[in-house]
Structure 1
Amino acid sequence: MDRRVEEYRFEDDGRIPNNPGLPLLYYPRALGEEYRDPGRCRELLRENGWGGAWVNGVFSYHHYHSVSHEVLCIVSGTARLELGGPSGKTFDVEAGDIIVIPAGVGHRNAGSDGSFRVVGAYPPGQERYDIRTGEPGERPGVLENIRRVALPNTDPVFGPEGPLVERWGIRR
């Protein structure tokens, strides 16, 4: 599996808070063929301490999670994902790509082919996620939630020595 990682930081746009301290991590073509089976991908995530795994797509509206980080493993198809909210960046993703989304970072599916499938998961203790859309009334509480979200102990795909551990400054 390829361990190249790209980092992206997004500013708070007044609607989508994004994350003031952690970058979104994009691992292009990092998921080996053997893990593109949703069951095997879920096992890999579980082996690396990430749980609450699900198989589906990505919502077509901008949303974020204020109480959890999230990993998206693209197991089939292609999509255009908008990350960081309406003012963020558009990514053309394909099977094998992995995206680790810090709490608060907006994301949405802006279009995908019919075979697009994702395995998503969360760090330990964060399987209870929320779905926030940037409504004005949710603002004060979500900023505090995002600040309190714990760092994971491991990279969801590469384990304790993976790129996330270094890039997010996880201390052992």
Structure 2
Amino acid sequence: MPIKDQVKNFARKLVEDRPDAAALRALVRARRPAALHFRDDGIVPNNPKFPALLYRGAVKLTSRRFRPDVIIDTMFDANGWGRSWRDTVYDFVHYHSQIHEVMGVARGSARIECGGIKGRILSVRPGDVLVLPAGTGHRLIESSRDFLVVGAYPQDGTYDECTDTRERPDAIKRIAKVRKPKTDPVLGRGGPLLRAWRKERPRSRPGG
């Protein structure tokens, strides 16, 4: 998301009631994510090494004290994923060539296309968390009117937004240079992302 959205969210966090470490631990579920591999489809590069990860029901959002978006935002921040924003997902295909991205569903439901038109459409609901390695194409297909996600990024990397196929040659070079994050956005330093992204991905057919 643009810097202005991240600044707006930073100002919001200064005044909202956020869970402390103990409360946050009680709200996060240890989940093994599904790994989704996407190959370059000729339009969207996707990531040659790291799979997208989908954590189902990773966060308990039934707290009466803390809002769902606050819980997810606090979780990402506690695990070293910052520069957060809260909004919906763009409805056009785009990807980030210099940074990884995580999105947690705080409210509503949606169908999100990942990996480009030859990828997969994922149905997501509150508590789900989706980690997109640099280069992974994504867009919103449809959503409920109340759909809200919290997005964030690891400490290393620069936000950019790629939509033009003319950017592909340079974008592919940038994607290859994006380093693995130091922490899992859901479960921190011991989280499954670090194991799932430890080795290069196996060969797979386009889109799967």
Q: Is the shorter-chain TM-score for this pair beyond 0.5, marking a shared fold?
A: yes
Q: 1:54-108 CA deviation, whole Å, 9 max, x = no partner?
A: 0001000111000000000001100000000111001111011000000000000
Q: Secondary structure at the match of 1:90?
A: strand
Structure 1 Cα separation of the partners of residues 142 and 195 of structure 2: 32
Distance 2:159 2:109 in 1: 25
Match of 1:137 in 2: 166
Q: Is the 8 A contact 2:30 2:187 kept in 1?
A: no
Which of 132, 139, 160 is the matching residue for 1:108? 139
Shift of 1:36: 5.8
Counterpart secondary structure, 2:175: helix
User: What is the distance in 2 between the residues matched to 1:70 and 1:23?
Assistant: 12
Structure 1 residue aligned with 2:187, among 155, 158, 162? 158
TM-superposed CA distance for 1:43, in Å, is 1.6
Amino acid at match of 2:178: V
Give the conservation status (yes or no) of the 8 Å contact 1:26–1:100. yes
| 8 Å CA contact 2:156, 2:181 repeated in 1 | no
**Partner amino acid for 2:101?**
E
RMSD: 1.4
Matched, 1:81 2:112: yes
- In structure 2, what is the Cα distance between the partners aligned to 1:17 and 1:53? 24
Tell me which amino acid in the other structure corresponds to 1:121: A
Give yes or no for contact 1:80–1:110 (8 Å, CA) kept in 2.
yes
Give identity over the alignment, percent: 42
Q: From the two aligned structures, give the one with the greater strand fraction.
A: 1
TM-score by length of 1: 0.93
Deviating above 3 A after TM superposition, structure 1's stretches of 4 or more consecutive aligned residues are none
* CA deviation vs aligned residue, 1:84-140 (integer Å, no higher than 9, x gap): 0111001111011000000000000000001110000000032x311111x232011
Over 3 Å counting, the alpha-carbon distance change for 1:36 and 1:159 in structure 2 is: farther
Structure 1 counterpart of 2:40, from 12, 33, 36: 12
Unaligned runs of 5+ in 1: none
More helix as a share of residues: 2
| Alignment map for 1:11-30 (pairs within 5 Å) | 11-30=39-58
- Mapped to 1, the partners of 2:126 and 2:30 lie a distance apart of 13
Instruction: Name the counterpart of 1:97.
Output: 128
SS across alignment from 2:53: strand
Q: TM-score, normalised by structure 2?
A: 0.78
Contact 2:37-2:52 at 8 Å conserved across structures: yes
CA distance in 2 between partners of 1:148 and 1:79 (Å)? 31
Match of 1:92, SS state, is: strand
Instruction: Specify the structure having the higher radius of gyration (Cα).
Output: 2
Alpha carbons 2:58, 2:129 under 8 Å: kept: yes
